[in-house]
Amino acid sequence: MSNHIPPSPPDSLAETSHVSRDDLFEALANSRRRTALSKIADAGTPIELRTLARAVAREEAESDDAEIPDETFDNVSLSLYHTHLPKLAHLGLIEFDARRRVVESAIDGIELLPS
């Protein structure tokens, strides 16, 4: 058994050395993932998947809830749950509790570009 202690989460994307640049760029190339990451960072606290899906759908549609069909929210929620959030979690950018359907940033003050 190893006594290896995992490193604490990085303070910015520039410090995610365990993630290759290609993987990071590939993840951030998707607009839905960028929007989700932004909404998660803006929340500052854990956010429910349903709330995140509504925020992402509103931004993608550039509209409010009244004009967006429930089916659209469901589709966004499914794609976040099955594709986008697991990818961001695998890269260490977020923490995603799939059972509770709650997500939060794994990086304090996410900076998308290094300074």
CATH for 27-105 (1.10.10, 1.10.3470, 3.40.720, 3.30.70): 1.10.10
The token pair at 98 is: 């799939």
pLDDT confidence of residue 110: 53
Asked if 89 contacts 107 with a C-beta cutoff of 8 angstroms, the reply is no
Mean pLDDT of the chain: 83
Higher pLDDT, 29 or 15: 29
Encode pLDDT of 75-94 as tens digits. 999 999 999 999 999 999 99
Residue 41: partners with Cβ closer than 8 Å, 6 or more residues away: 105, 109, 110
- Please state the pTM of the whole predicted model: 0.77
